[in-house]
Amino acid sequence: MTPSELQSLRELIGRHKRYDILFGLIGVLATLVGVITLLALFIDLVLDGYGRLTPEFFTNFPSRRASEAGILSAWVGTALVMLVTLVAAVPLGVAAAIYLEEYAPRNWITELIEINVTNLAGVPSIVYGLLALGLFVYMLDFGQSILSAGLTLALLILPVLIVATREALRAIPTAIREAAYALGATRWQMVSQHLIPYSMGGILTAVIIGMARAIGETAPVITIGALTFIAFLPPAPFSLDPVTGQPAGPFDWLFSPFTVLPIQMFNWVSRPQPAFLENAAATGIVIIVATLVMNALAIWLRYRIRKNLKW
Protein backbone atom coordinates (compact mmCIF):
# COMPACT_ATOMS: atom_id res chain seq x y z
CA MET A 1 0.00 0.00 0.00
CA THR A 2 1.45 3.32 -1.04
CA PRO A 3 1.59 6.17 1.48
CA SER A 4 -0.96 8.15 -0.51
CA GLU A 5 -3.39 5.22 -0.48
CA LEU A 6 -2.86 4.87 3.24
CA GLN A 7 -3.43 8.58 3.59
CA SER A 8 -6.77 8.45 1.73
CA LEU A 9 -7.83 5.38 3.71
CA ARG A 10 -7.13 7.19 6.96
CA GLU A 11 -9.11 10.15 5.72
CA LEU A 12 -12.01 7.86 4.85
CA ILE A 13 -11.97 6.30 8.31
CA GLY A 14 -11.70 9.70 9.93
CA ARG A 15 -14.59 11.01 7.90
CA HIS A 16 -16.85 8.14 8.85
CA LYS A 17 -15.93 8.51 12.49
CA ARG A 18 -16.90 12.18 12.26
CA TYR A 19 -20.24 11.24 10.67
CA ASP A 20 -20.73 8.83 13.53
CA ILE A 21 -20.20 11.51 16.16
CA LEU A 22 -22.27 13.99 14.17
CA PHE A 23 -25.20 11.60 14.02
CA GLY A 24 -24.88 10.94 17.72
CA LEU A 25 -25.30 14.68 18.27
CA ILE A 26 -28.27 14.88 15.90
CA GLY A 27 -29.80 11.96 17.76
CA VAL A 28 -29.47 13.77 21.08
CA LEU A 29 -31.01 16.89 19.55
CA ALA A 30 -33.92 14.96 18.04
CA THR A 31 -34.57 13.29 21.36
CA LEU A 32 -34.46 16.67 23.05
CA VAL A 33 -37.22 17.98 20.74
CA GLY A 34 -39.68 16.02 22.84
CA VAL A 35 -38.26 17.10 26.18
CA ILE A 36 -38.02 20.75 25.10
CA THR A 37 -41.60 20.74 23.82
CA LEU A 38 -42.81 19.33 27.11
CA LEU A 39 -40.93 22.05 28.99
CA ALA A 40 -42.06 24.85 26.65
CA LEU A 41 -45.65 23.68 26.94
CA PHE A 42 -45.53 23.60 30.70
CA ILE A 43 -43.73 26.93 31.10
CA ASP A 44 -46.09 28.59 28.60
CA LEU A 45 -49.11 27.35 30.56
CA VAL A 46 -47.68 28.36 33.91
CA LEU A 47 -46.74 31.85 32.71
CA ASP A 48 -50.21 32.39 31.20
CA GLY A 49 -52.32 30.84 33.91
CA TYR A 50 -50.43 30.90 37.19
CA GLY A 51 -52.11 34.12 38.35
CA ARG A 52 -55.56 32.55 38.14
CA LEU A 53 -54.77 29.56 40.36
CA THR A 54 -56.40 30.91 43.50
CA PRO A 55 -58.57 28.89 45.91
CA GLU A 56 -61.62 30.70 44.50
CA PHE A 57 -60.80 29.33 41.05
CA PHE A 58 -61.59 25.87 42.42
CA THR A 59 -64.72 26.88 44.30
CA ASN A 60 -66.40 29.19 41.74
CA PHE A 61 -68.78 28.24 38.97
CA PRO A 62 -68.04 29.44 35.41
CA SER A 63 -69.12 33.02 34.88
CA ARG A 64 -69.47 35.63 32.17
CA ARG A 65 -66.84 37.69 33.99
CA ALA A 66 -63.50 35.99 33.45
CA SER A 67 -62.03 37.12 36.75
CA GLU A 68 -64.85 35.49 38.74
CA ALA A 69 -65.07 32.31 36.71
CA GLY A 70 -63.94 29.06 38.27
CA ILE A 71 -63.82 25.34 37.59
CA LEU A 72 -65.97 23.96 40.42
CA SER A 73 -68.54 22.28 38.17
CA ALA A 74 -65.78 21.07 35.84
CA TRP A 75 -63.62 19.32 38.40
CA VAL A 76 -66.60 17.81 40.20
CA GLY A 77 -67.85 16.60 36.81
CA THR A 78 -64.46 15.11 35.96
CA ALA A 79 -64.28 13.34 39.33
CA LEU A 80 -67.76 11.82 38.96
CA VAL A 81 -67.22 10.76 35.34
CA MET A 82 -63.91 9.14 36.36
CA LEU A 83 -65.72 7.26 39.14
CA VAL A 84 -68.20 5.78 36.65
CA THR A 85 -65.36 4.94 34.25
CA LEU A 86 -63.40 3.21 36.99
CA VAL A 87 -66.35 1.14 38.22
CA ALA A 88 -67.28 0.10 34.67
CA ALA A 89 -63.89 -0.43 33.07
CA VAL A 90 -61.77 -2.12 35.72
CA PRO A 91 -63.85 -5.29 36.35
CA LEU A 92 -64.59 -5.66 32.63
CA GLY A 93 -61.00 -5.08 31.53
CA VAL A 94 -59.41 -7.32 34.14
CA ALA A 95 -61.95 -10.10 33.53
CA ALA A 96 -61.36 -9.92 29.77
CA ALA A 97 -57.59 -10.02 30.26
CA ILE A 98 -57.83 -13.04 32.59
CA TYR A 99 -60.00 -14.86 30.09
CA LEU A 100 -57.69 -14.17 27.15
CA GLU A 101 -54.53 -15.01 29.08
CA GLU A 102 -55.61 -17.96 31.26
CA TYR A 103 -58.80 -19.52 29.88
CA ALA A 104 -59.08 -18.88 26.16
CA PRO A 105 -58.74 -21.97 23.96
CA ARG A 106 -56.87 -21.51 20.70
CA ASN A 107 -59.74 -21.13 18.28
CA TRP A 108 -61.27 -18.63 15.92
CA ILE A 109 -63.38 -16.95 18.62
CA THR A 110 -60.28 -16.14 20.64
CA GLU A 111 -58.55 -14.95 17.49
CA LEU A 112 -61.54 -12.72 16.70
CA ILE A 113 -61.48 -11.19 20.20
CA GLU A 114 -57.75 -10.53 19.99
CA ILE A 115 -58.05 -8.82 16.60
CA ASN A 116 -60.87 -6.67 17.99
CA VAL A 117 -58.87 -5.57 21.02
CA THR A 118 -55.90 -4.57 18.83
CA ASN A 119 -58.15 -2.77 16.40
CA LEU A 120 -60.13 -0.91 19.08
CA ALA A 121 -56.90 0.51 20.45
CA GLY A 122 -56.43 2.24 17.08
CA VAL A 123 -59.93 3.65 16.70
CA PRO A 124 -59.87 7.48 17.03
CA SER A 125 -61.39 8.61 20.31
CA ILE A 126 -64.01 10.77 18.63
CA VAL A 127 -65.51 7.64 17.07
CA TYR A 128 -66.25 6.36 20.59
CA GLY A 129 -68.12 9.63 21.04
CA LEU A 130 -70.25 8.89 17.96
CA LEU A 131 -70.90 5.37 19.24
CA ALA A 132 -71.97 6.74 22.61
CA LEU A 133 -74.15 9.44 21.03
CA GLY A 134 -76.09 6.82 19.09
CA LEU A 135 -76.06 4.04 21.69
CA PHE A 136 -76.01 5.51 25.22
CA VAL A 137 -77.59 8.92 24.66
CA TYR A 138 -80.44 8.01 22.31
CA MET A 139 -80.94 4.22 22.06
CA LEU A 140 -80.53 3.42 25.77
CA ASP A 141 -81.86 6.88 26.66
CA PHE A 142 -79.24 7.70 29.29
CA GLY A 143 -79.26 11.26 27.96
CA GLN A 144 -76.32 13.65 27.88
CA SER A 145 -75.36 12.58 31.37
CA ILE A 146 -72.48 11.63 33.64
CA LEU A 147 -73.42 7.98 33.13
CA SER A 148 -73.12 8.22 29.33
CA ALA A 149 -69.76 9.99 29.57
CA GLY A 150 -68.36 7.53 32.12
CA LEU A 151 -69.39 4.51 30.06
CA THR A 152 -67.96 6.08 26.88
CA LEU A 153 -64.57 6.64 28.48
CA ALA A 154 -64.73 3.13 29.98
CA LEU A 155 -65.06 1.64 26.49
CA LEU A 156 -62.25 3.93 25.31
CA ILE A 157 -59.71 2.76 27.91
CA LEU A 158 -60.77 -0.90 27.80
CA PRO A 159 -58.13 -1.93 25.20
CA VAL A 160 -55.37 -0.17 27.16
CA LEU A 161 -56.49 -1.93 30.32
CA ILE A 162 -56.75 -5.36 28.69
CA VAL A 163 -53.35 -5.19 27.00
CA ALA A 164 -51.52 -3.97 30.12
CA THR A 165 -53.25 -6.46 32.46
CA ARG A 166 -52.37 -9.32 30.11
CA GLU A 167 -48.75 -8.25 30.21
CA ALA A 168 -48.83 -8.30 34.01
CA LEU A 169 -50.34 -11.80 34.00
CA ARG A 170 -47.87 -13.06 31.42
CA ALA A 171 -44.97 -11.95 33.61
CA ILE A 172 -45.95 -14.52 36.27
CA PRO A 173 -43.97 -17.73 35.72
CA THR A 174 -45.80 -20.94 34.79
CA ALA A 175 -44.29 -22.64 37.83
CA ILE A 176 -46.64 -20.65 40.09
CA ARG A 177 -49.65 -21.93 38.17
CA GLU A 178 -48.37 -25.51 38.23
CA ALA A 179 -47.69 -25.34 41.96
CA ALA A 180 -51.27 -24.22 42.60
CA TYR A 181 -52.68 -26.98 40.41
CA ALA A 182 -50.43 -29.55 42.09
CA LEU A 183 -52.03 -28.67 45.43
CA GLY A 184 -55.45 -29.36 43.96
CA ALA A 185 -56.55 -25.82 43.25
CA THR A 186 -59.16 -25.29 40.57
CA ARG A 187 -58.43 -22.85 37.81
CA TRP A 188 -60.41 -20.03 39.43
CA GLN A 189 -58.76 -20.70 42.81
CA MET A 190 -55.39 -20.47 41.10
CA VAL A 191 -56.38 -17.22 39.36
CA SER A 192 -58.07 -15.53 42.30
CA GLN A 193 -55.64 -16.60 45.04
CA HIS A 194 -52.37 -16.44 43.14
CA LEU A 195 -52.39 -14.66 39.80
CA ILE A 196 -54.51 -11.65 40.79
CA PRO A 197 -52.61 -10.91 44.04
CA TYR A 198 -49.22 -11.34 42.32
CA SER A 199 -50.12 -9.13 39.37
CA MET A 200 -51.83 -6.50 41.53
CA GLY A 201 -49.03 -3.96 40.98
CA GLY A 202 -49.18 -4.42 37.21
CA ILE A 203 -52.96 -4.19 37.15
CA LEU A 204 -52.84 -1.03 39.25
CA THR A 205 -50.33 0.48 36.80
CA ALA A 206 -52.66 -0.37 33.94
CA VAL A 207 -55.61 1.22 35.73
CA ILE A 208 -53.67 4.43 36.43
CA ILE A 209 -52.50 4.72 32.80
CA GLY A 210 -56.04 4.15 31.60
CA MET A 211 -57.50 6.75 33.96
CA ALA A 212 -54.78 9.26 33.02
CA ARG A 213 -55.84 8.86 29.41
CA ALA A 214 -59.53 9.19 30.26
CA ILE A 215 -59.13 12.33 32.36
CA GLY A 216 -57.73 14.33 29.43
CA GLU A 217 -60.08 13.01 26.75
CA THR A 218 -62.17 15.80 25.28
CA ALA A 219 -63.52 14.87 21.88
CA PRO A 220 -65.74 11.90 22.84
CA VAL A 221 -67.24 13.79 25.78
CA ILE A 222 -68.03 16.80 23.58
CA THR A 223 -69.59 14.51 21.00
CA ILE A 224 -72.10 13.04 23.45
CA GLY A 225 -73.14 16.60 24.23
CA ALA A 226 -71.56 17.67 27.50
CA LEU A 227 -72.46 21.27 28.18
CA THR A 228 -69.89 24.02 28.39
CA PHE A 229 -71.67 26.30 30.83
CA ILE A 230 -72.84 24.57 34.00
CA ALA A 231 -73.52 26.66 37.07
CA PHE A 232 -74.76 23.93 39.37
CA LEU A 233 -73.52 20.62 40.78
CA PRO A 234 -75.11 17.21 40.20
CA PRO A 235 -77.55 16.40 43.04
CA ALA A 236 -75.82 14.70 45.95
CA PRO A 237 -77.65 11.55 47.13
CA PHE A 238 -80.61 12.41 49.42
CA SER A 239 -79.99 16.16 49.19
CA LEU A 240 -83.16 18.28 48.95
CA ASP A 241 -84.00 19.86 45.63
CA PRO A 242 -84.18 23.64 46.20
CA VAL A 243 -87.18 24.04 43.88
CA THR A 244 -89.40 21.02 44.58
CA GLY A 245 -88.12 20.18 48.06
CA GLN A 246 -87.93 16.51 47.09
CA PRO A 247 -84.93 14.49 48.28
CA ALA A 248 -82.69 13.25 45.43
CA GLY A 249 -82.37 9.51 44.89
CA PRO A 250 -78.99 7.86 45.56
CA PHE A 251 -78.19 7.63 41.83
CA ASP A 252 -79.80 10.79 40.46
CA TRP A 253 -76.37 12.33 39.92
CA LEU A 254 -75.64 9.73 37.24
CA PHE A 255 -78.26 11.31 34.99
CA SER A 256 -77.33 14.92 35.66
CA PRO A 257 -75.98 17.25 32.95
CA PHE A 258 -72.31 17.97 33.52
CA THR A 259 -69.10 19.42 32.18
CA VAL A 260 -65.50 18.23 32.58
CA LEU A 261 -62.15 20.02 32.88
CA PRO A 262 -60.94 19.60 29.26
CA ILE A 263 -64.26 20.86 27.91
CA GLN A 264 -64.14 23.87 30.21
CA MET A 265 -60.65 24.58 28.87
CA PHE A 266 -61.80 24.14 25.27
CA ASN A 267 -64.67 26.53 25.88
CA TRP A 268 -62.42 29.21 27.33
CA VAL A 269 -59.72 28.81 24.69
CA SER A 270 -62.35 29.35 21.98
CA ARG A 271 -63.20 32.81 23.31
CA PRO A 272 -61.50 35.89 21.96
CA GLN A 273 -61.04 37.79 25.28
CA PRO A 274 -57.50 37.39 26.66
CA ALA A 275 -58.85 37.12 30.23
CA PHE A 276 -60.58 33.86 29.34
CA LEU A 277 -57.38 32.55 27.79
CA GLU A 278 -55.78 32.96 31.22
CA ASN A 279 -58.57 30.83 32.67
CA ALA A 280 -57.96 28.26 29.94
CA ALA A 281 -54.25 28.15 30.80
CA ALA A 282 -55.00 27.75 34.49
CA THR A 283 -57.40 24.87 33.72
CA GLY A 284 -54.68 23.42 31.48
CA ILE A 285 -52.26 23.44 34.41
CA VAL A 286 -54.78 21.55 36.55
CA ILE A 287 -55.36 18.92 33.84
CA ILE A 288 -51.71 18.50 32.95
CA VAL A 289 -50.62 18.20 36.58
CA ALA A 290 -53.30 15.56 37.16
CA THR A 291 -52.27 13.49 34.12
CA LEU A 292 -48.54 13.91 34.65
CA VAL A 293 -48.82 12.89 38.31
CA MET A 294 -50.81 9.81 37.33
CA ASN A 295 -48.41 8.90 34.52
CA ALA A 296 -45.37 9.45 36.71
CA LEU A 297 -46.96 7.29 39.40
CA ALA A 298 -47.52 4.52 36.85
CA ILE A 299 -43.95 4.73 35.54
CA TRP A 300 -42.56 4.68 39.09
CA LEU A 301 -44.77 1.74 40.04
CA ARG A 302 -43.67 -0.24 37.01
CA TYR A 303 -40.03 0.50 37.81
CA ARG A 304 -40.53 -0.67 41.39
CA ILE A 305 -42.27 -3.86 40.31
CA ARG A 306 -39.47 -4.66 37.89
CA LYS A 307 -36.95 -4.14 40.68
CA ASN A 308 -38.78 -6.19 43.30
CA LEU A 309 -39.71 -9.14 41.13
CA LYS A 310 -39.77 -12.18 43.34
CA TRP A 311 -38.91 -14.61 40.58
Q: Which of residues 190-229 bind another protein (CB under 8 A)?
A: 212-213, 215-219, 222-225, 228
Dihedral over alpha carbons 204, 206, 210, 213 (to 10 degrees): 110
Chain positions 257 to 286 lying near another protein, rule: CB under 8 A, are 262, 265-266, 269-270, 277, 280-281, 284
Rule CB under 8 A: say whether 187 interacts with another protein.
yes
Chain positions 125 to 154 lying near another protein, rule: CB under 8 A, are 125-131, 133-135, 138
Residue number with CB closer to another protein (17 or 304)? 17
User: Do residues 112 and 290 touch, judged by C-beta distance below 8 A?
Assistant: no
- Specify the long-range contacts of residues 250-253, CB closer than 8 Å, at least 24 apart: 253/80, 253/146
For residues 248 and 234, what is the distance between their CA atoms, to the nearest angstrom? 10
User: Cβ 183 to another protein, closest distance in Å?
Assistant: 15
SS3 content of the chain, % helix, strand, coil (to 5): 75, 0, 25
Residue from 2, 3, 4, 16 in contact with another protein (CB under 8 A)? 16
Please state, as a whole number, how many other Cβ atoms lie within 10 Å of the Cβ of residue 40.
Answer: 10
Terminal CA-CA length for the chain: 58
Rule CB under 8 A: say whether 123 interacts with another protein.
yes
Rule CB under 8 A: say whether 8 interacts with another protein.
no
Residue number with CB closer to another protein (231 or 236)? 231
Rule CB under 8 A: say whether 307 interacts with another protein.
no
Residue from 7, 54, 67, 118 in contact with another protein (CB under 8 A)? 118
Rule CB under 8 A: say whether 292 interacts with another protein.
yes
Q: Comparing C-alpha atoms, which of 228, 229, 230, 250 is closest to residue 238?
A: 250
User: Do residues 73 and 261 touch, judged by C-beta distance below 8 A?
Assistant: no
User: Cβ 184 to another protein, closest distance in Å?
Assistant: 11
